[in-house]
């Protein structure tokens, strides 16, 4: 079997196992799994447009996620002091606590499932960022968000 096919199978298996572990994890199940991604990206107050770009989602999708998370008290909106027409999203203390749990569990899960060392994880991350950039450049973000 070619190394490319081996990698495709391994990446698919990694995705499936991580999805199952995340589903079984002791997280706040009142928050949809996909909304956790916003909490992970929200490490400082961000404009909604910038956050949508970071997350590779349409602005309308981001608005729906923000509405849900704001409704549960995990984030809040505030006016951008540099542009009063714009809004910033910021994480609340409750959101930060959940964010911390997500980050810790993610690290534990990934290391446990992959068996990779810290140095191997850095190398894998570097390679996957290259793959991600290539996909975005090749396919464009509009195609990925469909």
The CATH number of the domain where 68 resides is what? 1.10.10.10
Residues 20 and 79 in one domain: yes
Residues 73 and 135 in one domain: no
H or E element: which one contains 90? strand 83-91
CA angle, 88 as apex, 84 and 94 as ends, to 5°?
Answer: 140
Cα separation, 86 vs 75, in Å, equals 16
In this prediction, residues 13-35 reach a mean pLDDT of: 80
Residues 110 and 126 in one domain: no
9, HSE (Cβ side, Cα atoms, 13 Å):
6
Provide the mean pLDDT of the chain: 88
User: Tokens at residue 132, please?
Assistant: 């991600």
What pLDDT score was predicted for residue 143? 54
Residues 39 and 68 in one domain: yes
Confidence of residue 8 (pLDDT cuts 50, 70, 90): very high
Which structural domain, as residue segments, surrounds residue 122? 117-146
In this prediction, residues 108-118 reach a mean pLDDT of: 94
138 by Cβ neighbours in 10 Å (0-12 / 13-18 / 19+) ranks as exposed
What pLDDT score was predicted for residue 2? 95
Domain count, the chain: 2
Residues 107 and 130 in one domain: no
Residues 69 and 126 in one domain: no
What pLDDT score was predicted for residue 3? 93
In this prediction, residues 40-60 reach a mean pLDDT of: 89
Residues 138 and 72 in one domain: no
Residues 100 and 134 in one domain: no
Residues 111 and 122 in one domain: no
Residues 96 and 129 in one domain: no
What pLDDT score was predicted for residue 16? 93
Select the more confidently predicted residue: 87 or 29: 87
Residues 127 and 82 in one domain: no
In this prediction, residues 49-61 reach a mean pLDDT of: 88
46, HSE (Cβ side, Cα atoms, 13 Å):
20
Residues 34 and 64 in one domain: yes
């Amino acid at each position: 079997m070619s190394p490319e096919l081996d990698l495709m199978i391994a990446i698919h298996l990694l995705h499936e196992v991580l999805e199952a572990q995340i589903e079984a994890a002791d997280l706040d199940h009142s928050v949809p799994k996909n909304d956790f991604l916003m909490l992970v990206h929200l490490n400082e107050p961000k404009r909604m447009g910038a956050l949508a770009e970071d997350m590779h989602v349409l602005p309308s999708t981001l608005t729906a996620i923000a509405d849900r998370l704001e409704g549960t008290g995990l984030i809040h909106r505030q006016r951008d002091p540099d542009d009063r027409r714009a809004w910033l999203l910021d994480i609340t203390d409750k959101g930060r606590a959940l964010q911390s749990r997500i980050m810790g569990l993610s690290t534990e899960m990934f290391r446990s499932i992959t068996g990779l060392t810290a140095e191997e994880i850095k190398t894998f991350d570097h390679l996957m960022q290259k793959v991600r950039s290539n996909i975005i450049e090749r396919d464009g973000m509009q195609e990925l968000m469909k």
